[in-house]
Amino acid sequence: MAVKNDLIAKIQAHEARVGIVGLGYVGLPLVLRFGEEHFPVLGFDVDPVKVRKLQAGESYIRHIPAERLRVLIKEKQFEPTTDFQRLAEADCIIICVPTPLTPKKDPDLQYIENTTDAISRTLRKGQLVCLESTTYPGTTEEILLERFRSTGLEAGSDYFLIFSPEREDPGNPKFSTRTIPKVVGGITPDCLEVGTTLYGQVIDRVVPVSSTRAAELVKLLENIYRSVNIALVNELKLLGDRMNIDVWEVIDAASTKPFGFTPFYPGPGLGGHCIPIDPFYLSWKAKEYDFSTRFIQLAGEVNTSIPHYVVERIGKVLNDRARSIRDSKILILGVAYKKDVDDVRESPALEIMEILQAKGAVLSYSDPYIPRLHKMRAYDFSHMSSLPLNEDVLKSQDLVLITTDHSSIDYQWVVDHASSIVDTRNATRRVTRGREKIVKA
């Protein structure tokens, strides 16, 4: 009890040092939130290039202003490091590492496992450990708790272990880290008390749940809900194409119903670090219980088929002009996974590009937020840089494929100068001239 009370007092006084492991799209907003509430923050990352940039007060994420980071570094509220031995200095450790899939669509937990092992080497009495990385129910107990047993410390009395799913939405102007409610589940009631106390200092509303397993499933439900509904409208898009009905018009009209309907919109496929991945985590875990998540798997099948459908539409447009995909010049307009962000993780544009490249297309791209592509786990377009979006570039292309509807782009101007447009985002809905050039996909 004394260990818990001492840590809670330290947290409430904002004297607890917060260690954040993984300084990316989830970790850096937490750095700002805790640092700007005057908590001392240690940031850990395995990428020395990233750490050096942060130490110099540079931001590599567009929606995180460098000035806010520089203020924290100047005031010694934030110190980035690659030295994981320093985890012992942190009173509260928050894990924000990736949880990708293997090539066989199984959970890849190597980053959680490696981080857990690093924490195990320095774990001490009076520390709180929180996992924020999206994962299947049971991960906190089966991986973190089990590996921490080797330290001889007991969760709930010597140290405290919780799960709190990240809910970042880059580029969303309506919500921030502070205003998005925070779900927290603990291994024990004392763990939960410490965890809710920590997040209660920096988040407007904390939502406690009964266990880490419940908190882990909360995150999966949120994203599976979106995945299933996006699959529904994607399937309606395929049907609408055959029936010559504009599904976007249908959705907009249905949205006027003031009850019982929430609009979801089709696109070129699923993107981002959550929705394309999370359903597979739950489907994989469900097999342990001899349970088939048929609804979730069907949604996954629909959504993963959409990039192939887009390529088919491209082929038809080019065929109507007596051309084939092979040797045709195709400009990909937008490679970020959603509009107005500089994030390409799991972007459906990359899957479409890979399919087109295999068919012999001559590819280029233009994206105001992604000046250059880098090598990723599943794709390597590191030889490609964004082309300037000008009249000469547009006129040199056989087709322009809109895969991300960035707000800064004048789509009427694009249509004016392009010979053919395939629009996967309904970005050209307000275009008045040249609509005969546009095909929706």
Beta-bridged to residue 332, according to DSSP, are: 365, 401
Structure tokens, 293: 């998540």
Give the pairing type, strands 92-95 and 182-186: unpaired
H-helix segments, 244-372: 247-254, 278-286, 294-320, 348-358
Q: State how far the alpha carbon of 363 is from the alpha carbons of 114, 270, 332, 381, 384, in Å.
A: 38, 21, 7, 10, 9
Active-site position among 92, 96, 130, 274: 274
CA pair distance 439, 244, nearest whole angstrom: 12
The helix (H) or strand (E) run that includes residue 4 is helix 2-12
CA pair distance 231, 165, nearest whole angstrom: 24
Cβ neighbors of 151 (< 8 A, separation 6 or more) are 120, 123
Structure tokens, 343: 């994030």
Kindly state the DSSP code that residue 144 receives in the 8-state scheme: I
* Residue 15 backbone phi and psi in degrees, to 5: -100, -10
What string of DSSP letters covers 390-438?
-HHHHHT-SEEEE-S--TTS-HHHHHHH-S-EEESS-TTTT--S-GGGE
CA pair distance 177, 166, nearest whole angstrom: 9
Decide if 386 contacts 372 (C-beta within 8 A). Answer: yes
If we measure between CA atoms, which residue out of 113, 94, 257, 271 comes closest to residue 184?
94
CA pair distance 137, 379, nearest whole angstrom: 29
Between vectors from CA 223 to CA 220 and to CA 226, what angle results, nearest 5°?
145
Decide if 366 contacts 408 (C-beta within 8 A). Answer: no
Tokens 């010694």, located at residue: 76
274 is catalytic: yes
C-alpha of 79 from chain center: 25
CA pair distance 21, 111, nearest whole angstrom: 10
CA pair distance 220, 377, nearest whole angstrom: 22
Query: Hey, which residues are catalytic here?
Result: 274
